């Protein structure tokens, strides 16, 4: 039988290394000019999105862990990109911000008891979710955006 929490933690732990490798030789200028994906974002904007999505995922996980069936607010990613000036950010600062939030998230997930992975919450846009489902979603989110960045840099 698969150990889903362990597999998810392994995927979560791999993401920082994947992003570091993808962006190791990428300059600020290359990252600003390499655009693509559904949003037409630059690599910098994608990395800022990853940082902020990770922060929100960690907050949601903490709410589900600490409260009974909490409300989990949504957010408008396009609004955040404008308000937080993603286009004006530094690529490697955004990457390091993502890694800091991911490390905190991993530490909290590692501390969960097996039954706590099932703790639920009500996502504003999706309805009922639990910690495990959100973690699966975020692991897929990592892979999708890593592939996006790879495609964008390959075209640049």
- Going along the chain from its start, the domains and CATH numbers come out as 4-155 (1.20.120.450)
156 pLDDT exceeds 90?
Answer: no
Tens digit of each residue's pLDDT (9 = 90 or more) over 106-132: 999 999 999 999 999 999 999 999 999
Amino acid 142: pLDDT:
98
Amino acid 146: pLDDT:
97
Tens digit of each residue's pLDDT (9 = 90 or more) over 31-42: 999 999 888 999
Amino acid 73: pLDDT:
94
18 pLDDT exceeds 80?
Answer: yes
Comparing CA positions, the residue from 55, 22, 62 lying closest to residue 147 is: 22
Q: How far apart are CA 79 and CA 132, in angstroms?
A: 27
Bridge partners (DSSP) of residue 74 are none
Given the DSSP bridges, would you call strands 120-123 and 71-72 parallel, antiparallel or unpaired? parallel
Q: What is the mean pLDDT of the chain?
A: 96
Average pLDDT on 1-25 reads 97
């Amino acid at each position: 039988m698969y150990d889903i929490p362990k597999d998810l933690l392994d995927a979560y732990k791999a993401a920082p290394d994947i992003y570091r490798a993808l962006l190791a030789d990428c300059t600020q200028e290359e990252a600003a000019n390499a655009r693509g994906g559904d949003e037409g974002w630059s690599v910098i904007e994608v990395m800022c999105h990853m940082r902020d999505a990770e922060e929100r995922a960690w907050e949601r996980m903490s709410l589900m862990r600490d409260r009974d069936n909490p409300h989990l607010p949504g957010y408008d990613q396009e609004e955040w990109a404008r308000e937080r000036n993603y286009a004006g950010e530094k690529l490697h600062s955004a990457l390091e911000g993502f890694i800091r939030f991911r490390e905190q998230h991993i530490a909290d997930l590692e501390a969960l008891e097996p039954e706590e992975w099932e703790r639920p919450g009500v996502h504003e846009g999706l309805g009922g979710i639990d910690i495990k489902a959100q973690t699966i979603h975020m692991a897929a989110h990592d892979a999708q955006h890593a592939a996006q960045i790879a495609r964008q840099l390959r075209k640049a």
